[in-house]
Amino acid sequence: MTSAAQSQTHLYRSRDGMVLGVCKGVADYFDFSLFWVRCVTFFVFLFSGLWAVGGLYLLAALLMKPAPVIPLQTSQEQEFYHSYAGSRGMALQRLKRSFDKLDRRIQRLEHLITSRERDWERRFHAS
């Protein structure tokens, strides 16, 4: 799936945009010219008041998920990315559980290797 096809299904904030990537993300999503999206944004920003449009722009930057670094190929990859981008706390908890499970497995292996029974088994099987 190409970047253009990917951005048509979801609205992302571009990672290589000028200011937070909002205009580029909108241009990619709606298949508009980036130049014209930036021009319209600039003129609306200039003529309607700095605070209102500036606030909306920052709100859009906060609400839009950043575009994936690696293009997403399957629906499973898209689902994982959206779950991670939507809730980083949950993703961190999943990673912590995985590392805790690995840590317990390593501790069991260390216990097995350093236990006295292992030493006796090695002595009996070495003869």
pLDDT in tens, the chain (127 residues): 344 444 456 777 877 778 788 888 888 888 888 899 888 888 888 888 777 778 888 888 888 877 766 777 777 777 777 776 666 677 777 778 888 999 999 998 888 878 777 767 777 776 5
Residue 125: other Cβ atoms inside 10 A: 7
Q: What are phi and psi of 89, to 5 degrees?
A: -65, -45
pTM of the model: 0.50
For Cα atoms 38, 40, 45, give the angle at the middle one, nearest 5 degrees.
95
Q: According to DSSP H, which parts of the chain are helical?
A: 3-9, 22-30, 34-48, 50-63, 75-86, 88-114, 116-126
